[in-house]
Chains A and B, each alone.
Chain A
Amino acid sequence: MPAREQEIFDRKIEEEIRIEPKDWMPADYRRMLIRQMSQHAHSEIVGMLPEGNWITRAPSLRRKATLIAKVQDEAGHGLYLYSATETLGITRDEMIEQLHAGMAKYSSIFNYPTLTWADIGAIGWLVDGAAIMNQVPLCRASYGPYARAMIRICKEESFHQRQGFEILLTLSRGSEAQKAMCQDAINRWWWPSLMMFGPNDDASPNSRLSMHWKIKRFSNDELRQKFVDACVDQVKTLNMLLPDSEIKWNENREHYDFGEINWEEFYEVIKGNGPCNRDRLEARKKAHAEGAWVREAAAAFAAKKNDSTKHLMYGSHTTS
């Protein structure tokens, strides 16, 4: 191991100086970042599917436009994160291959189905809410490109969360059927959202190393507790219930106690046995396979015109 470089790296971590792509870094640090960041990018892309499921059925023109914009933001997040991960010496194509081959994970939450319109609200409130709890500390992650991508992403995510909550609030003040739809969605998304924080601290060996390197700043259980505390208050505004009879204020801890997560379900869904694992991966593979001739044609045209493929292929536009 290059002792001098290791020393510089350690000092930077210690002094909260960001590690940048050209800096020396331990191989394990690089590997851990590639794993976490690509997983994060894949989550954004796979996460487009359950919400995209309701774009064509959104109940009003305003909701339709907002949902398209939201799903499109997620594509944008995927894009920054793939680009940030590419600074570690892996290509987007390689990452996508790993996803399609089942070698790279994405957030398990997206293996649950969106069955009613209320699910779009519940995803915004709970899933984006949990994501924000996880992601805000990542804005201070030790790896520069990751931290900077996260700053932009977090701004948009908190906007999504408010939109989701507002969808539920509208339902909660609506007809009996709409109220029932709202409660049902909360029932189905609550526990999987708690699982988004990962295993308990004593079952999460990667966490410790990640915290040592200041990629992560808080443990899984700390973040989960923060999330539960926030949601217990928010659900009152909705006049709905969280599906856990053990939620109770604990004077000593100054936190809410809550019930035990079904860890069997957690590990089964990670292993690929969730309700939508196969559907999600197939949808991604199908889009990629059906797009192959498009990408080839763009590359062939670019080669013919001696133009840059990247410019032609990736020349997308953003509106204000």
Chain B
Amino acid sequence: MDLISTYIIHQADNALILGHRNSEWTGHGPVLEQDIAISNIALDLIGQARYFYQLAAARINESAPGGNITEDDIAYLRDDFEFRNCILAEQENGDWARTLLRQFYFSTYQLLLYQELLKSRDPGIAGICGKSVKETIYHVKWSSEWVIRLGDGTEESRTRMVEAMQTLNPWIPELFIPADFEYEAAATGAGILPDTLKDEWYHRVNRVLESATLPTLLSGKNPLQILSGKRGVHSEHLGHLLAEMQFLQRAYPGCSW
């Protein structure tokens, strides 16, 4: 598979895995209105994932005569090490604080990325991002408001936010360390190098963390990268998520649903 297809699948995997995580809340949210809100974000993300997978499938099929790969083949028939999502997206929901913080970190990243990709030389990518930017603006707004509310709410909510930061912060640097497909995408003009988003991301995130009276983040040097979702070396959580998500496709191969 060419690296631009991998680049597109990487965007799809990010959206699907995060959307799937959010959908685990459906029916279990802390209050009905927020159950609806998190489910809505799950739907937006799964919708984005589908557009990206469909785009990738079309590219792959074009390059292989007679190919008829579908969005579902890509989502349901790859193993853990073939997924290219960032490790942040696959982290477990934990409590509402962790879910919200994960959304805030990730949506802030996606918004900056999608806004740049509006200029992509690949019209398919630019088109999907055009639609997704609007949704992502809302995701950032919603999650920022919650970060502020919980950071500056009660003693307990603040403690939980600080714990959520400790759990999730180690997975921030990966967002900005380019993978081979990102170098290729930047070189062809289909995509960008994610490290160009880094300063703005820290700036925006820290502004919200300050309003939330939470400790701010230092960008610093890239740490040693033993795991890298973009290279297919994930945390332990992804395998369990896939085992559940792919169960029917694996147990009854070749069926239509």
> Which residues of A are in contact with B by a Cβ distance under 8 Å?
45, 48-49, 52, 55-65, 68-69, 71-72, 75-76, 78-79, 82, 117, 167, 170-171, 174-175, 177-178, 283, 286-287, 290-298, 300-301, 304, 312-319
Across-interface contacts of B67 in A (CB, < 8 A): none
Expressed in whole angstroms, the minimum distance between the Cβ of A163 and any Cβ of chain B is 13
Q: List 16 A-B contacts (CB under 8 A).
A: A52-B26, A57-B248, A59-B76, A69-B43, A75-B26, A75-B39, A175-B252, A175-B255, A283-B28, A291-B31, A296-B157, A297-B154, A298-B149, A301-B149, A304-B152, A318-B36
Q: How far is the CA of A41 from the CA of B104 in the complex (A)?
A: 32
B29 adjacent to chain A (CB < 8 Å): yes
Q: How far is the CA of A62 from the CA of B30 in the complex (A)?
A: 27
Across-interface contacts of B102 in A (CB, < 8 A): none
Across-interface contacts of A59 in B (CB, < 8 A): 76, 248-249, 255, 257
Across-interface contacts of A174 in B (CB, < 8 A): 255-257
Flag if B28 contacts A56 (CB, 8 Å). no
Q: How far is the CA of A177 from the CA of B49 in the complex (A)?
A: 29
Flag if A65 contacts B47 (CB, 8 Å). yes
Main secondary structure, interface of A, reads helix
Flag if A68 contacts B33 (CB, 8 Å). no
Flag if B150 contacts A297 (CB, 8 Å). yes
Across-interface contacts of A316 in B (CB, < 8 A): 33-34, 36-37, 40
B35 adjacent to chain A (CB < 8 Å): yes
**Chain B interfacial residues counted at CB < 8 A:** 55
B115 adjacent to chain A (CB < 8 Å): no
Q: Which of B37, B50, B72, B156 contacts A297 (CB 8 A)?
A: B156
B20 adjacent to chain A (CB < 8 Å): yes
Q: How far is the CA of A312 from the CA of B141 in the complex (A)?
A: 12
Contact with A along B73-92 (1 / 0, CB 8 A): 00110000000000000000
Across-interface contacts of B34 in A (CB, < 8 A): 294, 316
Flag if B138 contacts A317 (CB, 8 Å). yes
Across-interface contacts of B20 in A (CB, < 8 A): 56, 64
Flag if B153 contacts A300 (CB, 8 Å). yes
Flag if B30 contacts A64 (CB, 8 Å). no
Q: How far is the CA of A283 from the CA of B37 in the complex (A)?
A: 19
Given contacts A297-B149, A316-B37, A319-B44, contact A287 B154 (CB under 8 A): no
Across-interface contacts of B49 in A (CB, < 8 A): 61
B235 adjacent to chain A (CB < 8 Å): no
Across-interface contacts of A287 in B (CB, < 8 A): 27-30
Q: Which of B31, B50, B252 contacts A61 (CB 8 A)?
A: B50
Q: How far is the CA of A296 from the CA of B23 in the complex (A)?
A: 24
Q: Which of B32, B46, B72 contacts A68 (CB 8 A)?
A: B46
Flag if B135 contacts A319 (CB, 8 Å). yes
Residue of A nearest to B71 (CB): A61
Flag if B245 contacts A61 (CB, 8 Å). no
Flag if B248 contacts A293 (CB, 8 Å). no
Contacts of B219-247 to chain A: CB distance below 8 A? 244-245, 247
Contact with A along B157-201 (1 / 0, CB 8 A): 100100000000000000000000000000000000000000000
Flag if B31 contacts A295 (CB, 8 Å). yes
Given contacts A72-B40, A174-B255, contact A313 B33 (CB under 8 A): yes
Flag if B50 contacts A65 (CB, 8 Å). yes
Flag if A296 contacts B153 (CB, 8 Å). yes
Q: How far is the CA of A91 from the CA of B107 in the complex (A)?
A: 35
Contacts of B76-125 to chain A: CB distance below 8 A? 76, 95-96
B42 adjacent to chain A (CB < 8 Å): yes
Residue of A nearest to B75 (CB): A61
Flag if A64 contacts B46 (CB, 8 Å). yes
Expressed in whole angstroms, the minimum distance between the Cβ of B20 and any Cβ of chain A is 7
Flag if A291 contacts B43 (CB, 8 Å). no
Residue of A nearest to B254 (CB): A175
Extra 5 A-B pairs, beta carbons < 8 Å, given A61-B71, A71-B39: A75-B32, A178-B252, A300-B154, A300-B157, A319-B40
Given contacts A65-B50, A295-B30, contact A55 B23 (CB under 8 A): yes
Residue of A nearest to B70 (CB): A60
